Amino acid sequence: MQIVSYNVNGIRAAARKGLAEWLAENNFDIVCLQESKAMLEQVDMAPFEALGYEHHWHSAEKKGYSGVVTMTRHQPDKVVAGCGIEKYDSEGRIIRTDFGDWTLLNCYFPSGTSGDVRQDFKMEFLADFHNWINELRKERPKLIIVGDYNIANHPIDIHDPVRNKKSSGFLPDEREWLSQWFNDGFTDAFRHVSPEKVEYSWWSYRANARANNKGWRIDYQSVSDNLVDKIKDAHHRPDAVHSDHCPVWLEIDL
Protein backbone atom coordinates (compact mmCIF):
# COMPACT_ATOMS: atom_id res chain seq x y z
CA MET A 1 0.00 0.00 0.00
CA GLN A 2 1.44 3.35 -1.07
CA ILE A 3 -0.07 6.37 0.69
CA VAL A 4 0.85 9.91 -0.27
CA SER A 5 0.00 13.02 1.74
CA TYR A 6 0.27 16.35 -0.06
CA ASN A 7 -0.70 19.91 0.86
CA VAL A 8 -1.45 21.19 -2.64
CA ASN A 9 -2.20 24.79 -1.61
CA GLY A 10 -5.25 24.77 -3.89
CA ILE A 11 -6.29 21.72 -5.90
CA ARG A 12 -7.25 23.83 -8.92
CA ALA A 13 -3.85 25.52 -9.03
CA ALA A 14 -2.08 22.19 -8.55
CA ALA A 15 -4.12 20.63 -11.34
CA ARG A 16 -3.07 23.43 -13.69
CA LYS A 17 0.55 22.69 -12.74
CA GLY A 18 0.26 19.04 -13.76
CA LEU A 19 -0.84 17.21 -10.60
CA ALA A 20 -2.80 14.54 -12.50
CA GLU A 21 0.11 13.98 -14.88
CA TRP A 22 2.49 13.51 -11.95
CA LEU A 23 0.13 11.02 -10.33
CA ALA A 24 -0.10 9.15 -13.63
CA GLU A 25 3.67 8.64 -13.53
CA ASN A 26 3.38 6.97 -10.13
CA ASN A 27 1.31 4.14 -8.73
CA PHE A 28 -0.05 5.43 -5.45
CA ASP A 29 -2.96 3.59 -3.88
CA ILE A 30 -4.24 6.52 -1.83
CA VAL A 31 -3.57 10.24 -2.23
CA CYS A 32 -4.50 12.55 0.66
CA LEU A 33 -4.66 16.22 -0.29
CA GLN A 34 -4.82 19.11 2.15
CA GLU A 35 -5.69 22.76 1.61
CA SER A 36 -7.85 21.89 -1.40
CA LYS A 37 -9.42 25.39 -1.28
CA ALA A 38 -12.41 24.37 -3.38
CA MET A 39 -15.81 22.73 -3.49
CA LEU A 40 -16.24 19.54 -5.54
CA GLU A 41 -18.43 21.30 -8.09
CA GLN A 42 -15.61 23.76 -8.82
CA VAL A 43 -13.10 21.09 -9.87
CA ASP A 44 -12.88 18.86 -12.93
CA MET A 45 -12.02 15.52 -11.36
CA ALA A 46 -12.17 13.55 -14.63
CA PRO A 47 -8.34 13.37 -15.00
CA PHE A 48 -8.07 11.84 -11.52
CA GLU A 49 -11.00 9.49 -12.06
CA ALA A 50 -9.33 8.32 -15.28
CA LEU A 51 -6.40 7.17 -13.11
CA GLY A 52 -8.74 4.96 -11.12
CA TYR A 53 -9.30 7.20 -8.11
CA GLU A 54 -12.58 7.71 -6.37
CA HIS A 55 -12.56 10.86 -4.25
CA HIS A 56 -14.04 11.94 -0.94
CA TRP A 57 -14.23 15.57 0.12
CA HIS A 58 -14.54 17.67 3.24
CA SER A 59 -14.52 21.30 2.20
CA ALA A 60 -14.62 24.40 4.37
CA GLU A 61 -17.77 26.48 4.50
CA LYS A 62 -15.64 29.48 3.56
CA LYS A 63 -14.89 29.38 -0.15
CA GLY A 64 -11.27 29.11 -1.24
CA TYR A 65 -10.10 28.04 2.21
CA SER A 66 -8.74 24.91 3.87
CA GLY A 67 -10.35 21.59 2.93
CA VAL A 68 -9.20 17.97 2.53
CA VAL A 69 -9.69 15.43 -0.25
CA THR A 70 -8.88 11.72 -0.10
CA MET A 71 -8.46 10.00 -3.46
CA THR A 72 -8.30 6.21 -3.35
CA ARG A 73 -8.13 3.23 -5.68
CA HIS A 74 -9.52 1.06 -2.88
CA GLN A 75 -13.15 1.61 -1.98
CA PRO A 76 -13.44 2.45 1.72
CA ASP A 77 -15.92 0.65 3.94
CA LYS A 78 -16.84 3.91 5.63
CA VAL A 79 -16.23 7.62 5.06
CA VAL A 80 -16.75 10.25 7.76
CA ALA A 81 -16.23 13.96 7.16
CA GLY A 82 -15.13 15.86 10.24
CA CYS A 83 -14.66 15.02 13.91
CA GLY A 84 -18.01 16.22 15.24
CA ILE A 85 -16.66 19.51 16.59
CA GLU A 86 -18.33 22.29 14.62
CA LYS A 87 -15.62 24.95 14.85
CA TYR A 88 -13.16 22.57 13.17
CA ASP A 89 -15.61 20.81 10.86
CA SER A 90 -16.76 24.14 9.40
CA GLU A 91 -13.16 24.61 8.24
CA GLY A 92 -12.95 21.21 6.51
CA ARG A 93 -9.97 19.84 8.42
CA ILE A 94 -10.46 16.07 8.78
CA ILE A 95 -11.77 13.22 6.65
CA ARG A 96 -11.81 9.62 7.80
CA THR A 97 -11.80 6.53 5.61
CA ASP A 98 -12.03 2.99 6.98
CA PHE A 99 -10.51 0.05 5.10
CA GLY A 100 -11.08 -3.31 6.76
CA ASP A 101 -9.60 -3.19 10.25
CA TRP A 102 -7.57 0.01 9.77
CA THR A 103 -8.49 3.67 9.46
CA LEU A 104 -6.88 6.53 7.55
CA LEU A 105 -7.33 10.13 8.68
CA ASN A 106 -6.46 12.91 6.26
CA CYS A 107 -5.94 16.10 8.28
CA TYR A 108 -5.09 19.75 7.82
CA PHE A 109 -4.09 21.22 11.17
CA PRO A 110 -4.64 24.96 11.69
CA SER A 111 -1.84 27.45 11.23
CA GLY A 112 -1.09 30.08 13.85
CA THR A 113 0.98 32.38 11.65
CA SER A 114 -1.69 35.06 11.26
CA GLY A 115 -1.67 36.08 14.93
CA ASP A 116 -2.61 35.27 18.51
CA VAL A 117 -6.26 34.44 17.84
CA ARG A 118 -5.43 31.72 15.34
CA GLN A 119 -2.50 30.49 17.45
CA ASP A 120 -4.92 30.01 20.34
CA PHE A 121 -7.31 28.25 17.97
CA LYS A 122 -4.47 25.98 16.85
CA MET A 123 -3.60 25.00 20.41
CA GLU A 124 -7.27 24.29 21.15
CA PHE A 125 -7.41 22.10 18.06
CA LEU A 126 -4.33 20.14 19.10
CA ALA A 127 -5.79 19.38 22.54
CA ASP A 128 -9.25 18.52 21.20
CA PHE A 129 -7.83 16.44 18.35
CA HIS A 130 -5.70 14.33 20.68
CA ASN A 131 -8.68 13.70 22.95
CA TRP A 132 -10.84 12.78 19.95
CA ILE A 133 -8.22 10.36 18.66
CA ASN A 134 -7.98 8.72 22.07
CA GLU A 135 -11.70 8.01 21.87
CA LEU A 136 -11.58 6.91 18.22
CA ARG A 137 -8.84 4.37 18.78
CA LYS A 138 -10.97 2.54 21.34
CA GLU A 139 -13.13 1.64 18.35
CA ARG A 140 -10.49 1.74 15.59
CA PRO A 141 -7.07 0.98 17.13
CA LYS A 142 -5.19 0.66 13.83
CA LEU A 143 -4.73 4.23 12.65
CA ILE A 144 -2.71 6.11 10.06
CA ILE A 145 -3.02 9.87 10.48
CA VAL A 146 -1.51 11.87 7.65
CA GLY A 147 -1.43 15.51 6.70
CA ASP A 148 -0.08 18.96 7.29
CA TYR A 149 0.44 19.24 11.05
CA ASN A 150 1.92 22.76 10.74
CA ILE A 151 4.57 21.92 13.36
CA ALA A 152 8.28 21.17 12.99
CA ASN A 153 9.10 18.78 15.81
CA HIS A 154 12.88 18.93 16.33
CA PRO A 155 15.75 21.22 15.28
CA ILE A 156 16.62 18.69 12.57
CA ASP A 157 13.20 19.38 11.05
CA ILE A 158 13.76 23.07 10.35
CA HIS A 159 16.54 24.86 8.49
CA ASP A 160 17.09 27.59 11.09
CA PRO A 161 15.88 26.48 14.52
CA VAL A 162 17.56 29.30 16.40
CA ARG A 163 15.99 32.20 14.54
CA ASN A 164 12.62 30.43 14.36
CA LYS A 165 12.33 29.54 18.04
CA LYS A 166 9.56 32.14 18.45
CA SER A 167 7.85 31.38 15.14
CA SER A 168 4.46 29.70 14.99
CA GLY A 169 5.07 26.14 13.90
CA PHE A 170 8.19 25.81 16.06
CA LEU A 171 6.99 27.16 19.39
CA PRO A 172 7.87 25.18 22.51
CA ASP A 173 4.26 24.29 23.37
CA GLU A 174 3.57 23.10 19.81
CA ARG A 175 6.70 20.96 19.77
CA GLU A 176 5.87 19.58 23.19
CA TRP A 177 2.41 18.58 21.94
CA LEU A 178 3.92 16.76 18.95
CA SER A 179 6.49 14.98 21.11
CA GLN A 180 3.70 13.85 23.44
CA TRP A 181 1.72 12.72 20.42
CA PHE A 182 4.57 10.49 19.27
CA ASN A 183 4.97 9.15 22.80
CA ASP A 184 1.30 8.23 23.04
CA GLY A 185 1.00 5.29 20.70
CA PHE A 186 2.05 6.82 17.38
CA THR A 187 5.23 6.66 15.33
CA ASP A 188 6.57 9.24 12.87
CA ALA A 189 6.94 7.00 9.81
CA PHE A 190 9.67 9.08 8.18
CA ARG A 191 11.79 9.24 11.35
CA HIS A 192 11.22 5.52 11.90
CA VAL A 193 12.85 4.86 8.53
CA SER A 194 15.41 7.71 8.58
CA PRO A 195 16.25 8.82 12.13
CA GLU A 196 18.97 11.30 11.11
CA LYS A 197 18.08 12.34 7.56
CA VAL A 198 17.36 15.99 6.84
CA GLU A 199 14.38 16.35 4.52
CA TYR A 200 11.76 19.07 4.41
CA SER A 201 8.17 19.20 3.21
CA TRP A 202 7.50 22.95 3.02
CA TRP A 203 9.43 25.99 1.83
CA SER A 204 8.48 29.64 1.91
CA TYR A 205 7.87 31.27 -1.45
CA ARG A 206 10.20 34.04 -0.30
CA ALA A 207 13.97 34.39 -0.67
CA ASN A 208 14.32 31.45 -3.06
CA ALA A 209 13.88 29.16 -0.08
CA ARG A 210 13.11 25.99 -1.99
CA ALA A 211 16.04 26.31 -4.37
CA ASN A 212 18.28 26.78 -1.33
CA ASN A 213 16.48 24.00 0.57
CA LYS A 214 15.69 26.28 3.50
CA GLY A 215 12.57 24.45 4.58
CA TRP A 216 10.51 22.97 7.38
CA ARG A 217 9.26 19.42 7.89
CA ILE A 218 5.65 19.99 8.92
CA ASP A 219 3.84 17.19 7.03
CA TYR A 220 3.66 13.80 8.71
CA GLN A 221 2.41 10.26 8.44
CA SER A 222 1.66 9.07 11.98
CA VAL A 223 1.29 5.30 12.24
CA SER A 224 -0.21 3.70 15.33
CA ASP A 225 2.40 1.61 17.10
CA ASN A 226 0.46 -1.60 16.39
CA LEU A 227 1.21 -1.07 12.67
CA VAL A 228 4.85 0.04 12.91
CA ASP A 229 6.24 -3.35 11.92
CA LYS A 230 4.26 -3.00 8.67
CA ILE A 231 6.15 0.14 7.55
CA LYS A 232 8.33 -0.60 4.51
CA ASP A 233 9.59 2.85 3.52
CA ALA A 234 8.85 6.56 3.91
CA HIS A 235 10.33 9.66 2.34
CA HIS A 236 9.57 13.00 0.72
CA ARG A 237 8.99 13.63 -2.97
CA PRO A 238 10.52 17.06 -3.72
CA ASP A 239 10.27 16.29 -7.45
CA ALA A 240 6.59 17.29 -7.17
CA VAL A 241 6.44 21.07 -7.53
CA HIS A 242 2.71 21.85 -7.67
CA SER A 243 2.73 23.66 -4.31
CA ASP A 244 4.92 25.24 -1.65
CA HIS A 245 4.82 21.78 0.01
CA CYS A 246 6.03 18.48 -1.38
CA PRO A 247 4.33 15.10 -0.92
CA VAL A 248 5.17 12.74 1.91
CA TRP A 249 5.22 9.10 0.75
CA LEU A 250 4.63 5.98 2.83
CA GLU A 251 4.79 2.33 1.82
CA ILE A 252 3.15 0.03 4.32
CA ASP A 253 2.10 -3.62 4.17
CA LEU A 254 -1.58 -3.70 5.06
Concerning whether 173 is annotated as a catalytic residue, the answer is no
249 neighbors 237 (Cβ within 8 angstroms): yes
- What does the pLDDT look like over 129-164, one tens digit per residue? 999 999 999 999 999 999 999 999 999 999 999 999
Of the candidates 44, 120, 148, 188, the residue annotated as catalytic is 148
* Distance separating alpha carbons of residues 34 and 111, to the nearest angstrom: 13
What value does the mean pLDDT of the chain take? 98
Type of residue found at 62: K
| Residue 229: per-residue pLDDT | 98
238 neighbors 254 (Cβ within 8 angstroms): no
By CB neighbour count within 10 A (0-12 exposed, 13-18 middle, 19+ buried), where does 80 fall? middle
Q: All domains of the chain, ordered by start, with CATH?
A: 2-252 (3.60.10.10)
| Residue 87: per-residue pLDDT | 98
| Residue 160: per-residue pLDDT | 97
| Residue 167: per-residue pLDDT | 97
- What does the pLDDT look like over 93-131, one tens digit per residue? 999 999 999 999 999 999 999 999 999 999 999 999 999
| Residue 163: per-residue pLDDT | 96
pLDDT band for 214, please (50, 70, 90 cuts): very high
3-state secondary structure 130-161: HHHHHHHHHHCCEEEEEEECCCCCCHHHECCC
pLDDT average, residue stretch 58-64:
97
- What does the pLDDT look like over 188-199, one tens digit per residue? 999 999 999 999
| Residue 97: per-residue pLDDT | 98
pLDDT band for 41, please (50, 70, 90 cuts): very high
pLDDT band for 177, please (50, 70, 90 cuts): very high
pLDDT band for 216, please (50, 70, 90 cuts): very high
- What does the pLDDT look like over 1-30, one tens digit per residue? 999 999 999 999 999 999 999 999 999 999
* Distance separating alpha carbons of residues 146 and 22, to the nearest angstrom: 20
